[in-house]
């Protein structure tokens, strides 16, 4: 079974009350419910976690890599600043899809640069909570393809 770790960075625990004109009114708990529902329908196992601390996110990326899991990552503001998250993704080789609720490219210039995009499979942004569902679908499909290539006889 394919396992995907959905990792959320700083301030995403405030969704629902935080800048609702930008991020909408859906809480992280509601996003988790939507993601679990979708994972269930796809037959994938997931974990869903949030931390305001960069080191926790680094640990969880390494854990996903060691388990052969995939990652859907909304790194929040660390997207734009964290060499540590980038190195964790690159170093563990974990297939990662970067997601954002907002369209970061229509916002302030400092949000246009992502340090983790170059080491991710791709980036999905601007679709609100649906970004997570698209991200889950994308990483799941990539992992299914990868498994087929590594072990063609099983598929």
Ligand X SMILES: O=C1C[C@@](O)(C(=O)O)C[C@@H](O)[C@@H]1O
- Based on the residue annotation, tell me whether 78 is a catalytic residue of this protein: no
Q: Is 102 annotated as a binding residue?
A: yes
User: Cα 21 to the chain's mean position, in Å?
Assistant: 22
Q: Which of 102, 117, 122, 130 binds ligand X (CB under 6 A)?
A: 102
User: Looking at 44-52, 75-83, 87-95, 143-151, which segment touches ligand X (CB under 6 A)?
Assistant: 75-83
Q: Give the residue ranges of DSSP H helices in the chain.
A: 20-23, 28-42, 54-67, 83-92, 130-150
CA distance 66 to 125: 27
Rule CB under 6 A: say whether 46 interacts with ligand X.
no
Scanning 36-44, 59-67, 94-102, 138-146 for contacts with ligand X by CB under 6 A, the matching segment is: 94-102
* Burial call 86-117: b when 16+ CB within 10 Å, e when fewer: bebbeebebbbbbbbbbebeeeeeebeebbbe
76 in Cβ contact with 12 (< 8 Å): yes
- Which of 33, 38, 111, 141: binder of ligand X (CB under 6 A)? 111
Q: Can residue 100 be called a binding residue for ligand X (CB under 6 A)?
A: yes
Which of 37, 77, 93, 105 touches ligand X by CB under 6 A? Answer: 77
23 catalytically annotated: yes
**Quick one: tokens of 11?**
């301030």
Catalytic residues: 23, 100
Q: Which residues bind ligand X (CB under 6 A)?
A: 11, 74, 76-77, 79, 100-102, 104, 111
């Amino acid at each position: 079974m394919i396992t995907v770790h959905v990792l959320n960075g700083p301030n995403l625990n405030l969704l629902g009350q935080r800048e609702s004109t930008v991020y909408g009114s859906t809480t992280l708990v509601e996003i988790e419910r939507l993601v679990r529902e979708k994972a269930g329908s796809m037959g994938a196992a997931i974990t869903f976690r949030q931390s305001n601390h960069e080191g926790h996110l680094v640990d969880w990326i390494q854990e996903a890599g060691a388990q052969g899991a995939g990652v859907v990552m909304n790194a929040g503001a660390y997207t734009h600043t964290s060499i540590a998250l980038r190195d964790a993704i690159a170093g563990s080789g974990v297939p990662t899809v970067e997601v954002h609720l907002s369209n970061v490219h229509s916002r302030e210039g400092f949000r246009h640069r992502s340090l983790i995009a170059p080491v991710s499979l791709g980036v999905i942004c601007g679709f609100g909570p649906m970004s997570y569902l698209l991200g889950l679908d994308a990483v799941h499909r990539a992992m299914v393809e990868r498994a087929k290539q590594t072990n063609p006889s099983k598929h």
